Amino acid sequence: MLRFLFVLAATLAAAGSASAQTYPSRTVKFILPFGPASGTDIVARMVGDRLSKRWNQPVVIENRPGGDGLVSINAFTAANDDHTLLWVPVGIFAVHPFEREKLPYDADRDLLPIVGVTSLALAMSTPESLKTPALRDFIALAKASPGKLNAAAASGNADFLLGYFLKSMNLDIAKVPYRDIMQGPTDIAEGRIQLLSSSLAIVTPLAQAGKIRIMAVTSKQRMPSVPDVPTVREAGYPSLEMDSPGGIFGPRGMPLPLRERIAQDVRAELAADPSIAKRLEATGQIVTGQPPAEFAAGIKGLREQLGSIAKLLDMKATK
C-alpha cells in the first residue's frame, strides 16, 4: 500500500511539473469581482496584456461583480478549469464565513493561492466640512454627539474594520447600508454620512478636490498617493492596522508546480515594467509579487485578524 501511495504521489508530481512546462495551451481567463476601472480591474488588465505576450496566448478579463464577490467566485468554481483563474482581494471572501450561514464553496479547497499581486490600502474618511482632521478628533466629536452621526463601509474587510472601530471605541454611530459603495464618496463629501471605511482608491479623487478628509490609512506604511496621510499606527490606533492582500487563485486540484510557474511569470512581468507599480500607487495599491506560500501566509493572517474581530462583534463562523 505504501509503495502504491509513493508511486501515485510521484506520478501526480510529474504530471503537475509537465503541465507547468506546457501552460498555457489556450486562452487564459481572469474572473474579477468588480466592474471595469476598479483597482483590481486596472492591474489585471495591465498584467494580463504582458502575460499574453509572454505566453503567446490571449488573456481575457471577465468582470463578474455582485453578491459581495459570490457571483465571481461561483463562476470561477463552476468553470473548474486551470485556464480560468480568479483575481480577487482576499478581504472580499475572507469575511464570507462570518456573514453567511451557508457557503457554496470551500476556500481552502476551491481557491488555491497562486500569486499575491498587490496589497490594497483601506482608508478612514470624513467630510472636510466636519473639521476633524485626525482620528482622535473624529472620535471626540462622535462621543460628544451620540446617535447623531452616520457611517458606511465597503463590503468585505472594510465593513469588518468599521464594525470593530465603532465597537472598540464605544461609538454610537448608525451604519448605513449601501448597494453600491461607489456612491459613498459623494455622500460623504456632501455630508450625508460622516465616516466611510473603504479602499483608498475610491476616496482619493474627492480628497484631492478638498471635499473629503482622509484621516488615516490602515496599511503598515504611508501610501505614496497620499504621503501626508498618517497610518492608523501613527495616528495612535495600531489595532486598526490591516493588510489587504489581493491576487490570483487557481481551482481545486491545481498542482503546486503549475501555480509556482504562473507566479514566476507574473512576478517577472511586474519586475519588468516599473510603470505598473507607479500606476497602481495612484489606485492605493502596493505591488507585492508574493509566491504561493507567502501569499497563503498573508491570507492566513488576515483570516485570523477577521476572526478576532468577528468574536468581538459576536459573529460565528459558518460550520
Encode pLDDT of 171-217 as tens digits: 999 999 887 788 899 999 999 999 999 999 889 999 999 999 999 99
Average pLDDT over residues 17-30: 88
Encode pLDDT of 294-312 as tens digits: 999 999 999 999 999 999 9
Query: Whose CA is closest to 113, among 248, 252, 13?
Result: 248
Q: 243 or 112: whose pLDDT is higher?
A: 112
Residue 19's pLDDT is 73
Tell me if domain 27-120+244-312 and domain 122-240 are identical in fold. Answer: yes
Q: Which of 35-39, 53-57, 255-259, 299-303 has the lowest mean pLDDT?
A: 35-39
Encode pLDDT of 40-82 as tens digits: 898 999 999 999 999 999 999 999 998 889 999 999 999 999 9
Q: Which three cell numbers stand for residue 161?
A: 474594520
Residue 71's pLDDT is 95
- Round the CA-based radius of gyration of the chain to a whole number and report it: 21
Residue 9's pLDDT is 46
**Any idea which architecture 27-120+244-312 has in CATH?**
3-Layer(aba) Sandwich (3.40)
pLDDT-derived band at 319, boundaries 50, 70, 90: low
pTM of the predicted model over 0.75: yes
Percent of the chain with pLDDT over 90: 77
The domain ranges of the chain are 27-120+244-312, 122-240
Average pLDDT over residues 81-98: 95
Residue 37's pLDDT is 80
Percent of the chain with pLDDT over 70: 94
Residue 268's pLDDT is 97
CB of 32 closer than 8 Å to CB of 44: yes
- Cα–Cα distances (Å) from 217 to 120, 172, 213, 232, 263, in that order, read 10, 22, 11, 6, 28
**Any idea which architecture 122-240 has in CATH?**
3-Layer(aba) Sandwich (3.40)
Encode pLDDT of 121-178 as tens digits: 899 999 999 999 999 999 999 999 999 999 999 888 999 999 999 999 999 999 998 8
Sort residue 39 into left (φ over 0), alpha (ψ -120 to 50) or beta.
alpha
CA distance 172 to 263: 45
Residue 289's pLDDT is 96
